[in-house]
Homo-oligomer: A and B are copies of this chain.
């Protein structure tokens, strides 16, 4: 309910097409729109095919399917994260357009992919970080960003990083996915002037504490320009990178 549909509603009341009780009912049934005008546009845009995410972990298959059906009814694309193969099969049975991105543990149901815009570059420090990076890539792609993935350019051999420096400096947003000691975002951000989204992963052992080590490294990075997301949160990184990437010229 943006300003113009609100106006239409009031006009209908004014013109006698709606009674006051009918108008009040419309308000009651549209409680979200009453929140704030600008918000409405925001919601409308969201509802036109833009994916809505379901975190499958902790939900039953029936719950995931139920939520997916609800989303599809609104004409919105579905983006199921942390979907195991059982959930994936169920979603593929639900909708023929469902695509299972196995490495990213995601299922996407989207009528037609949006035009890829901007330039997000996703880097991984190691091979084991790839699933999280794939989650980032699929997320941002489905939302409408152009995304490229460069793997295994960790700092243990800093030349691998420097070798790709020019490409890295071209990107609008760089997402750096790293487990172990998580030092890659520090080094990358020190070499570029664009925003860096850092994703610690749970790859490691011992005092790695399931990702705390790289998380702390990234939060304490001695080079600036880095925003950190939760451990293994490839989806969150993709969503944030997409928001940044799609910023219009100022």
Contact = CB atoms under 8 A, between A and B. Distances in A.
A9 to B, nearest CB: 10
Contacts of A36: 1, 30-33, 162, 165-166, 169, 191
Please give me the 9 A-B residue pairs with the lowest Cβ-Cβ distance, nearest first. Answer: A227-B227, A249-B249, A206-B231, A58-B128, A35-B162, A183-B183, A32-B36, A36-B165, A2-B37
Contact of A205 (B13, B165, B231): B231
Contact of A207 (B27, B125, B216): B216
A95 interface: no
A247 B194 contact: yes
Contacts of A173: 247
Given A38-B165, A180-B221, A207-B216, A127 B59 contact: yes
Nearest to A131: B58
Interface of A: 1-3, 5-7, 10-11, 13-14, 20, 23-24, 27-28, 30-43, 45-46, 53, 55, 57-59, 63, 67, 82, 117-119, 125-128, 154-160, 162-163, 165-166, 169-170, 172-173, 179-183, 186-187, 189-195, 197, 200, 202-233, 235-236, 239-240, 243-250
B181 A221 contact: yes
* Copies of this subunit: 8
Contacts of A245: 250
A146 B249 CA distance: 14
A213 B210 CA distance: 14
A193 B220 CA distance: 27
A84 to B, nearest CB: 14
